[in-house]
Structure 1
């Protein structure tokens, strides 16, 4: 399981990364909200451990932005703030749990495991449209029972389209949620990935599921559904 740790205290980040690594977790680190811009926050992590007092954009603001972008990855907020009002603010902003510094590593580990169990139980077993099936647990994708070999970016795009099946996903949303950047200079890259994904998901002889909505973006829906 991959965890993203966003902590500006590099010594503390190193200790947590080592401890979690010894427990079998794969940990990526960032030292500010801005450092996460090149990371796949939509589907790349099972948990985000987020320090409140980050330089620049603080953890509370960053967590709020994640939820506005419909990134539902569980967030464990770390902070030296122990007032009840602060804990309530953190949870109301979208954090799933709150741990006050200083803390014992064993308590953090217990909370990490509890959040991951809760997320696993809440996660849908399968995402599907027509005969296209994506299993978030194994990251296996099939069409008519035939496994599809997707690159990480293709998988992330397809999962986003499946989670919003029947809706139009704009190019800007793809740029922000998959590449974590603006649309400038990514327009052609998005077209290339969509084209490659379409060749795999919609080969000749099967009803096409991925649709281009001119001037708006892309949609994934069964062939007999109405166009958005």
Structure 2
């Protein structure tokens, strides 16, 4: 059973989501506006947040950004009637994990929820394997082909952000927030330098990266279909 927060101001939709989640065996709580959603999201522990974009008092983008700024790592699925690509990018850049466009079927939403809950359970693990590398966060250790690799604590934190967000494009601002913290005077160029150094330590051919992929105009993405953790 998962604890799921629904932040939705449309009464009929909120009730439908709440009832369906409970039929699936989950515990569901509804917040009726953005301010209440943020308060509940930061004051309790949740396994997932379903977050409408068009909300009274505070929109979903702002709620999501504030949740991430407060240190919440709970998966967030945005619900919106907006279909423009720019809106989707804005939502993902605010820290959301997925984006579902209204109208949607409950069947589709259930599948998205299951995927995020599976992902959330994996993120509690601390040992990752990809390519010839093994990363053990409990031991603060990086090994390549079985041999220890010198890695700074900051590089390890940054690598952890990438590993726990496999397949997601992360902007430099998002990386700074997640790996360094808010209010840190880190430039985009400093992020690029850390990524460059990480590539030298994990990539078979650093000049042709296989894992840490640059996405022009957006940021970086960690990509490896064979990534495992335990």
TM bucket, shorter chain: 0.5 to 0.7
**Counterpart of 2:88?**
87
- Tell me if structure 1 keeps the 8 A contact 2:61–2:94: yes
- Deviations 1:108-150, CA, capped at 9 Å, x for gaps: 000000000001001147x99xxxxxxxxxxxxxxxxxxxxxx
Q: Work out whether 1:28 is the aligned partner of 2:29.
A: yes
- Tell me if structure 1 keeps the 8 A contact 2:51–2:78: yes
Report 1:137-152 matches (<5 A). Answer: none
**Counterpart of 2:182?**
none
**Counterpart of 2:8?**
7
Q: Which ranges of structure 2 fall in alignment gaps of 5 or more residues?
A: 127-136, 139-230
- Deviations 1:29-72, CA, capped at 9 Å, x for gaps: 00112223653636511000000000111000110011111111
RMSD: 2.1
Distance of aligned partners of 1:40 and 1:103 in 2 relative to their CA distance in 1, 3 Å threshold: closer
- Tell me if structure 2 keeps the 8 A contact 1:42–1:71: no
**Counterpart of 2:49?**
48
Q: Which ranges of structure 1 fall in alignment gaps of 5 or more residues?
A: 129-228
Q: Would you say how many aligned residue pairs link Structure 1 and Structure 2?
A: 128
> SS state of the match for residue 115, structure 2?
helix
CA distance in 1, matches of 2:104, 2:52: 13
**Counterpart of 1:76?**
77
TM-score (norm 2): 0.52
TM-score (norm 1): 0.53
What is the CA-CA distance between 1:25 and the residue it aligns to?
0.7
